[in-house]
Amino acid sequence: MYAMLCELLVEEFGIDAADIVPEATFATLELDSLSLAELAVIVADRTDKDFRGLGNLDKDTTLVEAAAAFEAAPRSEAFVPGARGTAASSDAPGPAGAASGSASASGAPSSEG
């Protein structure tokens, strides 16, 4: 995980490889909280890890600590609309979708425009 993290920092964030050492913090690499969030999403995409539990990563986290946190993160369940009853109301069929005014109850487009 550490090697992949280092690779991502170089490729995705333009960090100089010479600056990437295990004890480097995100602050010393000049990565802000938005960059940390983006990094977590990239790691999650590449590893199927659930990044939502990694809120404890901050600017003072070292790279070796971050790699350990990513490694320990649970595997992510697929983010499929409707999985585990999590579909947004706009994705769900039925009266909630029809009440938006974009379609009539029969599914035909409304005449408003």
Whether 40 shows a pLDDT value over 70: the answer reads yes
The model's pTM: 0.64
The CA dihedral of 35, 37, 43, 45, to the nearest 10 degrees, is: -120
Name the 3-class secondary structure at 44: helix
Is the backbone of residue 75 left (phi > 0), alpha (psi -120 to 50) or beta? beta
Q: Give pLDDT tens digits for 70-84.
A: 888 888 775 444 444
